[in-house]
Structure formats: structure tokens, C-alpha cells
């Protein structure tokens, strides 16, 4: 499938739709993600990945909103999203950057006061809900962000807060600081950082000191792991290589994400229809059916609609 971002003039003077067209997006997205996953050891091969990976629920929701006329679609941004996924290294920061571009491919058009089920549908990017307890609830699109509330003042959404702050869990604006700066309950770290020992810290690069307590975000690369003994980010081990048990958590660590640690050796995780490893383990994106003991596709939640 071509990823041209601009419309082309076809035979007879007819203008073709910019690619990728919405109908092709689910398959194209899974293909791009799988290419990246195989390259970074998260999946053994493309065919297995396409069986295991399903379309993300957020993307399915955006496509439902598009069919209902509640968002507009930017094919050029989706084309860039797919290109970024394929070209991304195994760095989490590059994956997050690609995801941000993917999200921008859909733009909300629902006006203030109209019904919505997702903030992405609203022009102001704010769908306000009241007493929502279910998976799908109808809300109302809010006003454009005011950005007037100072740090410490009350807020409903981040749009209420001044630049450099967000609406925190206590419904008050809290300051956002950068790497190396002090953090606390009222001062939080920016994107892709964690508060470690009172300091905003990014995931470590390969060969650098890491913090095992950050789990999957201890190391910047998805094909690295934070060695519990040395507390250094190291490359994950491939099938047939040795793996270790973390004395602190009791969990096996060190294998590529498409493998598991079986009696001290990295072995492939089972795919769809195969018996779960160690009674519960399957390839990423799959679930172990407790009744059959087999790995099955994780069925996503149906997309909400108004």
C-alpha cells in the first residue's frame, strides 16, 4: 500500500483519495507496528505478529468517530505516523513521538455543548462526563481551554491551567518540570520521565545506570532490560541464551519480549492456539484462556458511539 500524502490525479481527470485511505488504516497500522516489533525482539516474525496484534482500541474509536462525522481525517499525518513507526529505533521516546503523530491524524469537529464519547471528538479536545461508571458514556464537549488557573488553583481539565502546568489528581493545577529538576506531589515530571528520589529522571540508555523499580520504563530501549544485579541497562537475551531471576521480585528478566525464561534459558512464548507457557504466559497482545489453557487473541472493547 502506498503512503503518498498528497492526492494524485488519476485517469480521466478524477482525483483519488489521499493515502492511506481510512479503510486501509487498521491493516497498515498493524503492519507498521509489527515491522517495528520484530526488529526490536518483541515478536518472532511478521506472520506471527499479525496474528497476535489487534488494532488498538483508541484507533478503532477514532475510525468509528470518523464514520459518524465527529472527526476529520488527515491522511498526510497518518502516512507520517506509519513511516515513523517503521523507521523508529527501539527507543521508547521515538515510539511515543510516533504515537503522538498518529493521534494528530484525527481532528475533532464536535462543537461546544454537543454530545461526545471521547475528547478527541471535540473541537476543544474536552469531552466532559458526569457520573460515568461504564465503559462507554455520553458526555458534552466543553469550552475551549482558558489556561487561566495558576498552580495550586482548582481545575477540571489541563486546559484550565496556565502553560507549564496540568490538572492533577486532586483537581488542582500542578507545575510540570523537566529532567534533573526536583519533583514532589505538587510538582510533577514531564512526558517520558519519572520522579526517582525526588528528581525527574528519564529512562536510561544502554550501558547507563538504571532504576529497576521503574520496570518497563527503566531503560529507554524496548530491547534492553535493567539488570537487577548491576543496575545497568543491558541488551535483552535471544532465544537459547541464559536468563536470570530477580532475587528481589522473583521474576525472570533479561529475555527479548517474544521469549520467556524457562529454567534459566530464553524460550519462545506461545502464539495463538498453543498451550500457555508456565500456565499463564503468551506472546504480547495475547491472553491465556484459563479454561482451555491456550493462547487466544485479546478481543478489544467495542468502539463507543453517540
Residue 110: CB atoms within 10 Å: 25
**Whole-number Cα distances in Å, 122 to 13, 142, 143, 156, 243:** 36, 8, 9, 16, 48
CA–CA separation, 57 vs 52, rounded Å? Answer: 15
CA–CA separation, 132 vs 24, rounded Å? Answer: 33
For 14, the domain range is 1-106
Contact 237, 257 (CB under 8 A): no
Mean pLDDT of the chain, nearest integer: 86
Q: Where are the alpha helices (DSSP H) in 74-208?
A: 75-87, 92-103
Contact 42, 261 (CB under 8 A): no
Domain membership of residue 288 (yes or no) is no
Residue range 128-144: mean pLDDT, rounded: 80
Same domain, 47 and 115: no
Domain membership of residue 250 (yes or no) is yes
- Could you give the number of structural domains in the chain? 4
Same domain, 50 and 101: yes
Same domain, 99 and 13: yes
Domain membership of residue 291 (yes or no) is no
The 8-class DSSP code of residue 305 comes to: -
Same domain, 100 and 49: yes
Same domain, 19 and 67: yes
Residue range 153-174: mean pLDDT, rounded: 89
Same domain, 81 and 119: no
Worst-scoring range by mean pLDDT, 12-21, 125-134, 267-276? 12-21
Same domain, 45 and 75: yes
Q: Which of 185, 200, 215 is the last residue of a domain?
A: 200
Worst-scoring range by mean pLDDT, 79-83, 91-95, 142-146? 142-146
Domain membership of residue 287 (yes or no) is no
Domain membership of residue 221 (yes or no) is yes
Domain membership of residue 277 (yes or no) is no
Contact 161, 167 (CB under 8 A): yes
Same domain, 77 and 14: yes
Same domain, 215 and 120: no
CA–CA separation, 1 vs 25, rounded Å? Answer: 10
Q: Which of 85, 106, 127 is the last residue of a domain?
A: 106
Same domain, 86 and 37: yes
Domain membership of residue 193 (yes or no) is yes
Same domain, 37 and 54: yes
Same domain, 99 and 3: yes
| DSSP string covering 40-69 | TTSSS-HHHHHHH----HHHHHHHHHHHTT
Q: Does 28 or 147 have the greater pLDDT score?
A: 28
CA–CA separation, 107 vs 161, rounded Å? Answer: 22
Domain membership of residue 153 (yes or no) is yes
| DSSP string covering 217-247 | GSBSBTTEEE-TTT-BEEEPBPTTSB-EE-T
This prediction's pTM: 0.80
Amino acid at each position: 500500500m502506498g503512503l503518498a500524502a498528497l492526492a494524485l490525479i488519476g485517469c480521466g481527470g478524477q482525483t483519488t483519495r489521499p493515502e492511506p485511505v481510512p479503510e486501509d488504516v487498521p491493516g497498515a497500522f498493524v503492519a507498521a507496528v509489527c515491522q517495528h516489533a520484530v526488529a526490536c525482539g518483541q515478536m518472532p516474525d511478521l506472520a506471527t505478529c499479525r496474528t497476535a496484534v489487534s488494532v488498538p482500541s483508541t484507533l478503532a474509536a477514532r475510525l468509528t468517530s470518523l464514520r459518524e462525522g465527529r472527526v476529520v481525517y488527515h491522511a498526510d499525518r497518518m502516512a507520517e505516523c506509519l513511516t515513523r513507526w517503521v523507521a523508529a529505533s527501539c527507543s521508547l521516546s521515538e515510539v511515543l513521538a510516533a504515537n503522538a503523530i498518529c493521534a494528530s491524524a484525527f481532528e475533532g469537529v464536535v462543537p461546544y455543548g454537543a454530545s461526545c464519547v471521547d475528547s478527541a471528538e471535540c473541537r476543544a479536545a474536552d469531552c466532559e462526563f458526569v457520573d460515568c461508571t461504564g465503559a462507554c458514556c455520553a458526555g458534552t464537549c466543553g469550552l475551549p481551554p482558558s489556561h487561566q488557573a495558576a498552580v495550586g488553583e482548582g481545575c477540571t481539565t489541563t486546559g484550565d491551567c496556565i502553560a507549564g502546568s496540568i490538572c492533577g489528581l486532586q483537581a488542582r493545577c500542578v507545575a510540570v518540570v523537566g529532567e534533573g529538576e526536583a519533583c514532589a506531589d505538587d510538582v510533577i515530571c514531564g512526558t517520558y520521565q519519572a520522579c526517582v528520589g525526588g528528581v525527574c529522571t528519564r529512562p536510561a540508555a544502554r550501558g547507563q545506570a538504571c532504576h529497576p523499580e521503574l520496570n518497563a520504563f527503566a531503560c529507554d530501549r524496548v530491547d534492553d532490560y535493567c539488570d537487577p544485579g548491576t543496575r545497568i541497562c543491558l541488551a535483552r537475551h535471544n532465544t537459547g541464551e541464559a536468563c536470570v531471576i530477580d532475587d528481589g521480585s522473583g521474576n525472570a528478566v533479561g529475555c527479548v519480549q517474544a521469549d520467556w525464561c524457562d529454567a534459566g534459558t530464553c524460550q519462545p512464548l506461545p502464539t495463538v492456539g498453543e498451550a500457555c507457557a508456565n500456565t499463564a504466559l503468551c506472546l504480547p497482545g495475547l491472553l491465556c484462556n484459563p479454561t482451555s489453557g491456550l493462547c487466544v487473541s485479546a478481543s478489544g472493547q467495542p468502539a463507543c458511539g453517540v
